[in-house]
Amino acid sequence: MTADIIDGKAFAATVREKVAAHVARLKDAGVTPGLAVILVGEDPASEVYVRNKGKQTLEVGMNSFEHKLPVDTPEAEVLALIDKLNNDPAVHGILCQLPVPDHINDDKVINAISPEKDVDGFHISNVGLLATGQKSMVPCTPLGCLMMLRERHGSLSGMNAVVVGRSNIVGKPMAALLLKDSCTVTIAHSRTKDIEALCRGADILVAAVGRPQMITGDWVKPGATVIDVGINRIAAPERGEGKMRLVGDVEFASAAEVAGAITPVPGGVGPMTIACLLANTVTACCRANGLEEPEGLTA
């Protein structure tokens, strides 16, 4: 193996330390950042995410407000709760854990959150601000990827970046962030022709596809930086009957032979996502109070 491993777990810890230091300064100034998380229903994966978010929010010294609602909560009730949180000065960040049950329109919920408190960065106003290169709340997973890339390269200016995947939560905002940092950006998706050759031209290759180990070493340009966003659960019979393991969208072993640097799964992008949620909450709190924003915690 030749590639350097980008340790997202360690990097996320440094982001959390920076957040905690800034929270302490804010508390000295009489403000405690607060994050409100809404969970509708009892999806086990969502419950784990929400628990982790709440735990890490408290660990960095912020207030955590959890709102767990029954699966059959009417949409109007969720919207009313968001309205209340929008008007609560103790709450600086609001997120509604997705997916929501089918009877609730996720776009309606996302766009009901005040853009200034939209720490997931999914509100249409924030999407537009990011697309036009303006200051916005930035989606957490792409923000985490950007931080790791900046840490590795310093300036990204002039680099060829290929983002595989065009979802609203990862692919598109990732591409917008890379463009803002002056990369030459190509977005690939399921209809892209000769995707391997396209990827082989990338100095920065971001995989956000949701297909286990789709991108192999022969798709990677020698020396490229590979960011693997994918989280896929596959059978792991070598660990025993019925056992599973996590893999990314990149076949780690073959890609690591060619890449200059690569994020592992698990332990790469994953831990950065919650760290960036905390960073966004501090940023939102500073903006709400007209206070100086922490450096290096946003795009």
180 is catalytic: no
Strands 232-235 and 244-247, by their bridges, are antiparallel
DSSP letters of the chain? --SEE--HHHHHHHHHHHHHHHHHHHHHTT---EEEEEEES--HHHHHHHHHHHHHHHHTT-EEEEEEE-TT--HHHHHHHHHHHHT-TT--EEEEPSSPPTTS-HHHHHHHS-GGGBTT--SHHHHHHHHTT------HHHHHHHHHHHHHHS--TT-EEEEE---TTTHHHHHHHHHHTT-EEEEE-TT-TTHHHHHHT-SEEEE---STT-B-GGGSPTT-EEEE---EEEE-GGG-TT-EEEE-SB-HHHHHHH-SEE--SSSSHHHHHHHHHHHHHHHHHHHHTTPPPPTTS--
Q: Which of 162, 209, 226, 250 binds ligand NDP (CB under 6 A)?
A: 209
Q: Any contact of residue 179 with ligand NDP (CB under 6 A)? A: no
Strands 160-164 and 184-188, by their bridges, are parallel
Q: Any contact of residue 273 with ligand NDP (CB under 6 A)? A: yes
Report in angstroms how near the CB of residue 270 gets to ligand NDP at its nearest.
Answer: 4
Q: Any contact of residue 276 with ligand NDP (CB under 6 A)? A: no
**Cβ closest to ligand NDP, residue 8 vs residue 61:** 8
Distance between CA atoms of residues 56 and 232, nearest Å: 24
Output the residue with the shortest Cβ distance to ligand NDP.
167
172 is catalytic: no
- Contact track, ligand NDP, 213-252, x by CB under 6 A: ----------------xxxx--------------------
**Cβ closest to ligand NDP, residue 63 vs residue 105:** 105
Q: Which of 84, 108, 189, 239 binds ligand NDP (CB under 6 A)?
A: 189
Q: Which of 211, 260, 267, 293 binds ligand NDP (CB under 6 A)?
A: 211
Q: Which of 85, 162, 188, 279 binds ligand NDP (CB under 6 A)?
A: 188
One of 18, 117, 118, 120 is an active-site residue; which one? Answer: 120
**Cβ closest to ligand NDP, residue 182 vs residue 190:** 190
- Contact track, ligand NDP, 144-173, x by CB under 6 A: --------------------xxxx-xxx--
- Which range of residues in 72-80, 109-117, 203-211, 281-289 is near ligand NDP by CB under 6 A? 203-211
53 is catalytic: yes
- Positions touching ligand NDP (CB under 6 A) are 141, 164-167, 169-171, 188-192, 195, 208-211, 229-232, 269-270, 273
Q: Which residues have a catalytic role annotated?
A: 53, 97, 120
